A and B are shown apart, each in its own frame.
Chain A
Amino acid sequence: MGLLIQLGIFAALLALGFLAGSRAERKHYASIREREAALRHILLVPVRRAPTRSPCRAQLVCGSVVIGMDYFKMTVAAFVNILGGRINAYETLVERARREAILRMKENAAALGGSHIFNVKFSTTNLRGQNNQQSGCVEVVAYGTALLPVRLEAGN
């Protein structure tokens, strides 16, 4: 009896995780695509040094995001972890986190008036709760050096 109640709770959490998680994912992707189009004028440059010889200022910009996994994704991943294999359920999660982190970094650069970000790097952390238990969260940080217009001093 107790076991059936446990199984019922498990099935309910699974269904809730799938429905709410899928909806949240669809909405997030739509927001990401819209903001990516709006911020496309800020260019990401995959080199360590600024590809310009014009006078410019540089400043560190970064964007970070923490995304939680839904119960459905965690369950599928737990199944795959037994026998091994590609965890498709986590791929959309990590991709969203990476694109969202880039967007936030670009928003940071845009606020400073930057037009390019070079030397872009990523850092990913799997957040863990107490007693080293997995809390089902992933953090992605994107950071780089933004090129900013030179401030014209009075008298120059």
Chain B
Amino acid sequence: MFERPPPARLPDAPMRIENPPVPEGINVSGQHPLRDFFVQGTLAVGVFAVCLLLLGALAGLLAPHVPFAWEQRAAARFWPQVPASPEEATLNELAARVAHAMKLPADMPIVIHYWPDDCTINAAASLGGHIVVYRGLLRQMESEDELAALLAHEIAHVQHRDVARGFLRGIAAALLLAGVDSVSPVFSGIGTAATQSFSREQESLADADAARATAALYGHTGGALALFSRLQAHLPHGLLDSLELTRSHPDFPRRIETVRAQSRQLARPETGTLTPLPAALRTLREAENNCRSDDLEWE
């Protein structure tokens, strides 16, 4: 049992009590805050960037080994089962021809979804071989060759498993970012720069495949060249838009050069007779467009 000690007796001699001035600099480091910021910031950002690059590379290695059937199962719940419109049926018929020219494996079926939105000039490959094409972008097409080049580019992303790769990288980046919430703009910036760098490599490979597919289908790469040359005019012209670090795609002159390099390699001409658009899509160009913006989102 704890026994409480008796209270201490005060000394008989009077205690001398002093309160000297509070000494400065004992409890506070003399290091300049800016030096602290740069040293700690560089260390933290460096470690984060290395982790992100390692995880990104790991995701890139793992993605091709994820069974495509898993992607299809995951994607099935997101896409509505609606009857195909005439435009969608035409797009799927052309995509089947392009996929055949690209020697896409039979267990990688491509499904094109037509999105009737004039204000979005875009197309994107998604999980499980689903590709969405917006009417805004279809309205820009002047020939079947160009449309085939566009579809080939997106199909190449499915074939290279870029969608699964991007998905895994996104998860890795989100997990890392969750731990550094308070300085998220800095780390988001690094994450985006790293992801865009991975993305630019993938886009160049998809462009090369698109050039090969159009050459195989039409005997020349004129469609891919026409697509990139004309869409270049629709790019946003802001100062920051031209910074490569912020872009997910290489710039258009470089993409045009990729197509030309493929032409030379395949010994196919860069020009030739362009095939007219299928009838179901030709009317889209003539329909009234109520959208003010014509900024390109697809690249």
Contact = CB atoms under 8 A, between A and B. Distances in A.
Contacts of A91: 27-29
B10 interface: yes
B185 A36 contact: no
Interface stretch (B31-39, B76-84, B144-152, B270-278): B31-39
Contacts of A116: 17
A-B pairs, 5 with minimum CB distance: A10-B185, A79-B40, A88-B29, A78-B182, A79-B44
Interface of A: 1, 3-4, 6-7, 9-10, 18, 22, 36-37, 40, 42-45, 49, 51-53, 72-76, 78-80, 82-83, 85-86, 88-89, 91-92, 94-95, 99, 116, 134
Interface in B33-51: 33-34, 36-37, 40-41, 43-44, 47-48
B238 interface: yes
A1 B243 CA distance: 9
A1 B246 contact: yes
Contact of A88 (B21, B31, B186, B238): B31
Contacts of A76: 33, 36-37, 40-41
Interface in B161-189: 179-180, 182-183, 185-186, 188-189
Contacts of A74: 182
B37 A75 contact: yes
Contacts of A3: 185, 188-189, 192, 246
B7 A9 contact: no
Interface string B5-37: 001101000010111011000011101011011
B106 interface: no
B181 to A, nearest CB: 8
A76 B33 CA distance: 8
Contact of A43 (B19, B43, B182): B19
Contacts of A134: 182
A83 B43 contact: yes
B208 to A, nearest CB: 27
Given A72-B33, A83-B43, A83-B44, A99 B22 contact: yes
A121 to B, nearest CB: 17
B244 interface: no
Contacts of A37: 21
B185 A6 contact: yes
5 contacts: A18-B33, A76-B36, A79-B43, A91-B29, A134-B182
Given A76-B40, A83-B43, A95 B28 contact: yes
Contacts of A83: 40, 43-44, 47
B240 interface: yes
Given A53-B10, A85-B40, A88-B29, A78 B22 contact: no
A3 B246 CA distance: 8
B93 interface: no
B201 interface: no
Contacts of B19: 40, 42-44
B257 interface: no
B52 to A, nearest CB: 13
A89 B33 contact: yes
Contacts of B10: 49, 51-53
A99 B22 CA distance: 9
B17 to A, nearest CB: 5
A72 B37 contact: yes
Given A4-B240, A43-B18, A88-B28, 8 more contacts: A1-B240, A9-B185, A18-B34, A36-B22, A52-B10, A79-B40, A88-B29, A116-B17
Contacts of A22: 33
A35 B293 CA distance: 63
Nearest to A25: B33
Nearest to A75: B183
A51 B17 contact: yes
A77 B201 CA distance: 36
Interface in B131-170: none
